[in-house]
Amino acid sequence: MKTIKAKVQADNPVTESSLDKAIERGELRRKNSLQATAVTYLPPCLAVSFEDGSGVLLPVANYPEFDDFEGEELASLTVGYAGTALCHEGKDLHVSIAGLISASKPLMAMAASVVASRNGRQSSAAKSEAARANGKKGGRPRKVDVVLPVPTKKPS
What is the pLDDT tens value at each position of the chain, 156 positions in all? 677 777 776 677 888 998 899 889 888 877 777 789 999 999 999 999 998 889 999 999 999 999 999 999 999 999 998 888 999 999 999 999 999 999 999 989 998 898 888 887 777 788 888 888 888 888 777 788 888 777 777 766
Q: Looking at residue 92, which CATH number applies to its domain?
A: 3.30.2020.40
Domain coverage including residue 53: 36-108
Domains: count for the chain: 1
Q: Is residue 75 part of a domain?
A: yes
Q: Is residue 29 part of a domain?
A: no
Nearest to 33 by CA among 87, 93, 96: 96
Q: Is residue 92 part of a domain?
A: yes
Q: Is residue 152 part of a domain?
A: no
Check residue 3 and give its pLDDT: 79
Helix H or strand E segment including 93: strand 93-96
Q: Is residue 154 part of a domain?
A: no
Q: Is residue 63 part of a domain?
A: yes
Check residue 1 and give its pLDDT: 67
Cis previous bond, 44, omega within 30: yes
Q: Tell me the pTM.
A: 0.60
Nearest to 38 by CA among 25, 51, 23: 51
- CA separation for the pair 153, 115 (Å, rounded): 54
Q: Is residue 131 part of a domain?
A: no
Q: Is residue 78 part of a domain?
A: yes
> Which amino acid is located at 148 in the chain?
L
